[in-house]
């Protein structure tokens, strides 16, 4: 009997089982085979991945009831003659034909273009400059607390209720004993006193100034949050190379936070097209049609003129414009990102 047999017999008597050594299999070209990934485990024992869809049902229900159903109903009403009392009657494209030749509708969209300047172009440019100054200059020299305090003051108009803001603005721009006219008279510029919201020549301009004040804080907050991911060493290296503040702003700040710039421009454009509260609270679209916008025009047709079908047509047209602009911005952003990846 060999020593190997003796060893096997002893292991058998002790109750141990010997396992032959098998070489590990190899794949092609001697590579080890891929090991199977462990199955995903749920945090809840026995829970199915499909079960988490149940938590989305309330959101889908709310979206359907609050957004989808009213949208479909609004589109349907745009093809009807409906006064809000009798059942709607089918009118085909009559409302849309009337909309194309409605001077008041085109005036409202022209006013929206001016509001886009006041709510998108000016706040985005000023917000970008202010955010860069708060982050790169004030934050570095005076500390983050002062920068945070100034950021909060810029954002304060965003959280003010429209009614309260309208009362304050109305008091400032009041033609008699208003704060603005009183200050002009006190500094010897009484000749510039004006009925700012009551004159067709200055009403829209006054609304634009108000909307710049209201909207400025939003891009400041977004851009300052985006600047948190910028490496401070980039600014320090550029400063050591002799780059001035504006050169650092253009070469570092703008290039890094470009995605946030797209987001701010898109969301502010949508807000400018949908603006309703300040117009309703301050001018009601007047004097004349000098401050009318599509949202207020649709509201007046719905609830004042009882032309529900035509008001739905205006609202549907505004929705289509917003959808087209959104698609354009998303495609533009994708093209820019694709071009950057290909560099």
Residue 43 pLDDT exceeds 60: no
Q: Are residues 78 and 194 in the same domain?
A: no
Number of domains in the chain: 2
Is the preceding peptide bond at 287 cis, omega within 30 degrees of 0?
A: yes
Helix axes 203-215, 258-274, angle to 10 degrees: 140
Q: Are residues 80 and 121 in the same domain?
A: no
| Rounded mean pLDDT, 283-287 | 92
Q: Are residues 153 and 265 in the same domain?
A: yes
Q: What does the DSSP assignment read for 192-213?
A: G---TTTSTTTHHHHHHHHHHH
Higher pLDDT, 310 or 24: 310
Residue 277 lies in a domain: yes
pLDDT at 292: 96
Cα dihedral sign, 292-295-298-300: negative
Residue 17 pLDDT exceeds 70: no
Q: Are residues 57 and 112 in the same domain?
A: no
Each residue's pLDDT tens digit, 248-258: 888 888 888 88
Each residue's pLDDT tens digit, 261-279: 999 999 999 999 999 999 9
Residue 140 pLDDT exceeds 80: no
Distance between CA atoms of 294 and 6, rounded to whole angstroms? 98
Residue 286 lies in a domain: yes
How far CA 46 is from CA of 36, 43, 56, 326, in Å, comes to 22, 9, 20, 42
Q: How confident is the model at residue 85 (pLDDT cuts 50, 70, 90)?
A: confident
Q: Are residues 182 and 118 in the same domain?
A: yes
| Rounded mean pLDDT, 146-153 | 86
Q: Are residues 84 and 227 in the same domain?
A: no
pLDDT at 47: 52
Residue 147 lies in a domain: yes
Residue 46 lies in a domain: no
- Domain CATH number, residue 262: 1.10.3720.10
Q: Are residues 89 and 173 in the same domain?
A: no
The domain in which residue 78 lies consists of 53-96
Residue 44 pLDDT exceeds 80: no
Q: Are residues 277 and 212 in the same domain?
A: yes
Per the prediction, the chain carries an average pLDDT of 85
Q: Is 288 left (phi over 0), alpha (psi -120 to 50) or beta?
A: left
Q: Are residues 173 and 108 in the same domain?
A: yes
pLDDT at 32: 54
- In the 8-state DSSP scheme, what is residue 250? I
Residue 12 pLDDT exceeds 70: no
pLDDT at 324: 96
């Amino acid at each position: 009997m060999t020593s190997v047999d003796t060893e096997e017999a002893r292991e058998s008597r002790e109750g141990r089982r010997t396992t032959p050594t098998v070489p590990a299999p190899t794949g092609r070209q001697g590579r080890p085979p891929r090991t199977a990934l462990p199955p995903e485990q749920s945090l809840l024992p026995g829970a199915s991945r499909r079960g988490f869809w149940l938590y989305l049902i309330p959101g889908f229900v709310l979206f359907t009831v609050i957004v989808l159903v009213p949208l479909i109903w609004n589109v349907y009403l745009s093809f009807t003659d409906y006064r809000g009392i009798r059942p709607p009657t089918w009118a085909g494209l009559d409302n849309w034909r009337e909309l194309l030749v409605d001077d008041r509708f085109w005036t409202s969209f022209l006013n929206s273009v001016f509001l886009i300047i006041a709510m998108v172009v000016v706040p985005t440019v000023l917000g970008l400059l202010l955010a860069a100054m708060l982050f790169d200059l004030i934050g570095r020299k005076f500390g983050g607390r002062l920068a945070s305090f100034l950021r909060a003051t810029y954002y304060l108009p965003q959280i003010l209720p429209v009614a309260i803001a309208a009362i304050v603005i109305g008091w400032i721009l009041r033609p008699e004993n208003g704060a603005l006219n009183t200050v002009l008279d006190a500094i010897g510029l009484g000749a510039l006193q004006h009925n700012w919201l009551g004159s067709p020549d200055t009403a829209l301009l006054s609304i634009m100034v108000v909307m710049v004040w209201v909207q400025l804080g939003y891009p400041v907050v977004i851009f300052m949050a985006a600047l948190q991911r910028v490496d401070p060493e980039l600014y320090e290296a550029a400063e050591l190379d002799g780059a001035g503040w504006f050169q650092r702003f253009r070469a570092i700040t703008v290039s890094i936070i470009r995605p946030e710039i797209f987001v701010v421009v898109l969301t502010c454009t949508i807000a400018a097209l949908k603006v309703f509260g300040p117009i309703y609270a301050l001018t009601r679209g007047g004097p004349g049609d000098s401050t009318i916008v599509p949202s207020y025009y649709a509201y007046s047709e719905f609830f004042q003129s009882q032309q529900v079908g035509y008001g739905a047509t205006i609202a549907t047209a505004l929705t289509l414009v917003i959808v087209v602009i959104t698609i354009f911005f998303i495609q533009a952003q994708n093209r820019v990102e694709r071009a950057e990846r290909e560099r």
